Amino acid sequence: MSDETMRITLHVWRQKGPNDRGSLQSYKTEANPHMSFLEMLDVLNEQLLSKNEDPIAFDHDCREGICGMCSMVINGRPHGPRNATTTCQLHMRSFKDGDEIYIEPWQAKAFPIIKDLMVDRSAFDRVIASGGYISVGTGGAPDANAIPIGKKQADEAFDYAACIGCGACVAACPNASAMLFVGAKVAHLSKFPQGQVERKGRALNMVAAMDTEGFGACTNHGECASACPKEIPLEAIMVLNREYARAQLSGGED
């Protein structure tokens, strides 16, 4: 065995389907510190397949920290122990030889488990469809770029637009609130001239959709911003509250 090889014990949530009972199952495996966390799971799955056992189901896509698919709770923290890091960007050097690692899916009513570590996050899609878009015609890219936008506005909008919709904020919140996610989308679009047409209706509709999907209320724990791999600021919730109150006071009319 290489000097760099780590022996680790994994306690992984296994659940065959949405209506089945799940439980933690333990596996012993070895990993190289330079492996990503998902590569370590790939190695474990190869071992399981070689023994004709069912591999662990987990979401992944880009493995570049862009898509947010690699959602899992690692030792009680969404995406693992490193700040501003998605699971796919987490490396085994963040752990040490002999560690025991607990891996679970997002736990939220609005994110039902599909299998093992995979959850259905289509609730986010429905919230976005309710108002997280602009319908104003801007012409081609040169026409859109010709609309003057101040640097401060552009910088703030970019910070909010960094949200990848992974759901870590929901998984971290004791109330399973989606306020940081919805706040980021509302704040992002409210900063641009193109986003003004549906501005008031957007806040009302997205909050209503969030409630319909079963996400909890925000009680200012702040865990959402701490867990966010893209460091969406907690101020996004303040912006959402302000936009929602503004829309209510004006009757939702622009």
How do residues 200-216 score in pLDDT, each as one tens digit?
A: 899 999 999 999 999 99
Whether the CB-CB separation of 229 and 181 falls below 8 Å is answered with no
- 3-state SS class at 149: coil
- Cα separation, 40 vs 154, in Å, equals 39
In whole angstroms, give the CA distance from residue 200 to residue 205.
Answer: 9
In a domain, 1, yes or no: no
Residues 101 and 156 in one domain: no
Q: Structure tokens of 167?
A: 């759901």
CA atoms lying within 13 Å on the CB side of residue 188: 20
Q: Is position 193 within any domain?
A: yes
Residue 83: domain span: 6-115
- Domain-ending residue, one of 100, 115, 130: 115
pTM for the model stands at 0.91
Mark which of 115, 138, 173 sits at the end of a domain: 115
What are the pLDDT digits (tens) for 89-139? 999 999 999 999 999 999 999 999 999 999 999 999 999 999 998 887 666
What is the longest distance spanned by two Cα atoms in the chain?
69
Looking at 51, 84, 115, the residue that finishes a domain is 115
